[in-house]
Chains A and B, each alone.
Chain A
Amino acid sequence: MRILVVEDEVRLAENIARGLREGPGYAVDIAHDGKAALEFCNAGDYDLIVLDLMLPGCSGDEVVANLRAAKVATPVLILTAVSQTDRTISLLDAGADDFMTKPFDLGELIARCRALIRRSKGASQSLLRFGELELHTGEQSVVREGRQIDLSPTEFRILEYLMYRPRIVVSKRELLEHLYDFTWEHHSNVIEVHVSNLRRKLRGSKDEDVVETLRGRGYRLAQS
Chain B
Amino acid sequence: MKSRSITRQTVAIVLLAQITFALVLGVIAILSERNTRLRALDQQIAGRLDSLLGAIQDAEDPEDNITIDPAEVDIMREDRYAVYSESGKLIGRSADHEPALPAQGEMGLSRHRIDRLQYHVLRRNALRIIDRAENHGIGLRRPVVIVYASPENHVLHEVFEAVGRLLVAIVLVSAAAAFVTASLVRKTLQPIRDLSLAAQSVSSTSLQFDSPHSAMQVDELRPLATTLSALIDELREAFAKEQRFVGDAAHELKTAVAVVRSAVQVLMLRRRTEQEYVAGLDQLLQDNDRVEALVASMLDLARFEQAPNGKAPLLDLADAAREACATMESIAETHGVRLVVEDEAYATTHLSMDRVQTLLTNLLSNAIRHSSPGGTVTVATKLQDGHAVIEVIDEGSGIPAHALPHVFDRFYRADPSRSRASGGTGLGLAICKSIVESAGGRIDITSTVGKGTRVRALFITA
Contact = CB atoms under 8 A, between A and B. Distances in A.
A interacts with B: yes
Contacts of A103: 254, 257-258, 260-262
Contact of A10 (B250, B254, B421): B421
Contact of A105 (B247, B250, B252, B265): B265
A22 interface: yes
B206 interface: no
Contacts of B257: 102-103
Interface in B257-305: 257-263, 265-266, 269-270, 283, 287, 290
B413 interface: yes
Interface in A191-206: none
A82 B266 contact: no
A81 to B, nearest CB: 4
A19 B262 contact: yes
Contacts of B253: 81
B424 to A, nearest CB: 12
Given A33-B416, A82-B251, A9 B265 contact: no
A102 B254 CA distance: 6
B258 A102 contact: yes
A85 to B, nearest CB: 15
B89 interface: no
Interface in A114-136: none
A106 B266 contact: yes
Contacts of B258: 9, 12, 79, 102-104
B262 A9 contact: no
A131 to B, nearest CB: 32
Nearest to A106: B265
Contacts of B451: none
Contact of A82 (B247, B259, B263, B269): B247
Which of B250, B254, B255, B421 has most A Cβ within 10 Å? B255
Contacts of B261: 103-106
A22 B266 contact: yes
Nearest to A57: B416
A32 B420 CA distance: 11
Interface size range of chain A in the complex: 20 to 34
A165 interface: no
B259 A9 contact: yes
Given A8-B416, A23-B269, A16 B251 contact: no
Nearest to B258: A103
Contacts of A106: 261-262, 265-266, 269
B87 interface: no
B135 interface: no
A139 B256 CA distance: 31
Interface in A2-36: 8-12, 15-16, 18-19, 22-23, 32-33
A56 B420 CA distance: 12
B314 to A, nearest CB: 42
Given A8-B420, A11-B287, A22 B259 contact: no
Which of A11, A23, A54, A56 has most B Cβ within 10 Å? A11
A166 interface: no
A219 B253 CA distance: 47
B309 interface: no
A104 B263 CA distance: 11
Contacts of B203: none
Interface size range of chain B in the complex: 20 to 34
Interface string A29-51: 00011000000000000000000
B350 to A, nearest CB: 39
A107 interface: yes
Given A81-B250, A103-B258, A32 B416 contact: yes
B396 to A, nearest CB: 21
A52 B417 CA distance: 13
A107 B251 CA distance: 21
Contacts of A101: 254
Contacts of B266: 15, 18-19, 22, 106
A137 B209 CA distance: 57
Which of A16, A22, A33, A81 has most B Cβ within 10 Å? A81
Interface string B411-424: 00100110011000
Nearest to A55: B416
Which of B250, B262, B269, B290 has most A Cβ within 10 Å? B262
Nearest to B251: A81
A81 B411 CA distance: 15
B246 to A, nearest CB: 9
A223 B27 CA distance: 122
B255 A10 contact: no
A86 to B, nearest CB: 14
Contacts of A82: 247, 250-251, 254
Contact of B417 (A10, A18, A79): A10
Nearest to A103: B258
A12 B255 contact: yes
A82 to B, nearest CB: 5
Contacts of B250: 81-82
A19 B247 contact: no
Contact of B416 (A16, A56, A107): A56
Contact of A15 (B254, B262, B420): B262
A101 B270 CA distance: 24
Which of A32, A56, A103, A105 has most B Cβ within 10 Å? A103
Interface of A: 8-12, 15-16, 18-19, 22-23, 32-33, 52, 54, 56, 79, 81-82, 101-107
Question: What are the 3 closest A-B residue pairs judged by CB atoms, nearest first?
Answer: A106-B265, A15-B262, A81-B251
Given A32-B417, A56-B413, A106-B266, 12 more contacts: A9-B256, A9-B259, A11-B290, A12-B259, A15-B265, A19-B269, A22-B269, A32-B416, A54-B251, A81-B247, A81-B250, A102-B254
9 contacts: A8-B417, A9-B258, A9-B420, A11-B263, A16-B262, A19-B262, A54-B248, A81-B254, A102-B257
